[in-house]
Amino acid sequence: SQQGEEDPQALSIQEGENATMNCSYKTSINNLQWYRQNSGRGLVHLILIRSNEREKHSGRLRVTLDTSKKSSSLLITASRAADTASYFCATDATGTASKLTFGTGTRLQVTL
Amino acid sequence: GAVVSQHPSRVICKSGTSVKIECRSLDFQATTMFWYRQFPKKSLMLMATSNEGSKATYEQGVEKDKFLINHASLTLSTLTVTSAHPEDSSFYICSARQVAKNIQYFGAGTRLSVL
């Protein structure tokens, strides 16, 4: 399977803490994207990082990419209860006509 | 972000019937749309790539006669689950690719329950 792995599978933190999720993948990529999914809903695009980029920020989100290790991390700073969701990384592998391969996901629970 | 509408959000049907799910990109044209299936607490598995004006490309193991895909316009793709069986019960999600940003925008999903 070409599916990426994410860890941890589940993460429970208190509001105000930071949450870090990691993603590993197997192939060469054009870019890596992070998505968020609330239970029973569709996916919301969070951020895209290209293969020639190492770090990207968007609001409280910080994404890093290490192509030599084929890994990425998503950091959510100062988490809020509304951040509770599942987070997926998705890779756009080279030569796959922009198909995305999703990781296994991290379920984040932020408690008050 | 761009808006992708998926309808219906939930459908319950009897075994043997066919169910059609629509996916529309509301504010951009999409030559390419994707259909995914998601099992409870699992990741998304790509079923097929829907290409406007041509045949869909199915992933290995996905029966094209079972899951019919039509992409008749730049804003609409449909997935028809034919002769549905209980094992087809799942959460189906579509996405539309916005070429300019190379981002897939997702619909809200359709929960299919086959009795």
Compute the distance between CA of residue B50 and CA of residue B76 in angstroms, rounded to an integer.
10
pLDDT higher than 70, residue B26: yes
Mean predicted confidence (pLDDT) in A42-47: 94
Q: Does B51 touch chain A (CB under 8 A)?
A: no
A20 pLDDT tier (thresholds 50, 70, 90):
very high
pLDDT higher than 60, residue A1: no
Question: Which chain B residues are Cβ-neighbours of A3 within 8 angstroms?
Answer: 43
The verdict on a CB contact (< 8 Å) between A45 and B108 is: no
The total of other beta-carbon atoms located within 10 Å of residue B52's CB is: 16
Per residue in B75-114, pLDDT tens? 999 999 999 999 999 999 999 999 888 899 999 999 999 9
The verdict on a CB contact (< 8 Å) between B106 and A45 is: yes
- Nearest-CA residue of chain A relative to B99? A98
Closest CA to B93 of A104, A43, A44: A43
Q: Does B14 touch chain A (CB under 8 A)?
A: no
The verdict on a CB contact (< 8 Å) between B105 and A48 is: no
Helix (H, G, I), strand (E, B) or coil at A81: helix
To the nearest whole percent, how much of chain B has pLDDT over 70? 99
pLDDT at position A32 is: 95
**Considering chain B, what is the average pLDDT of its residues?**
94
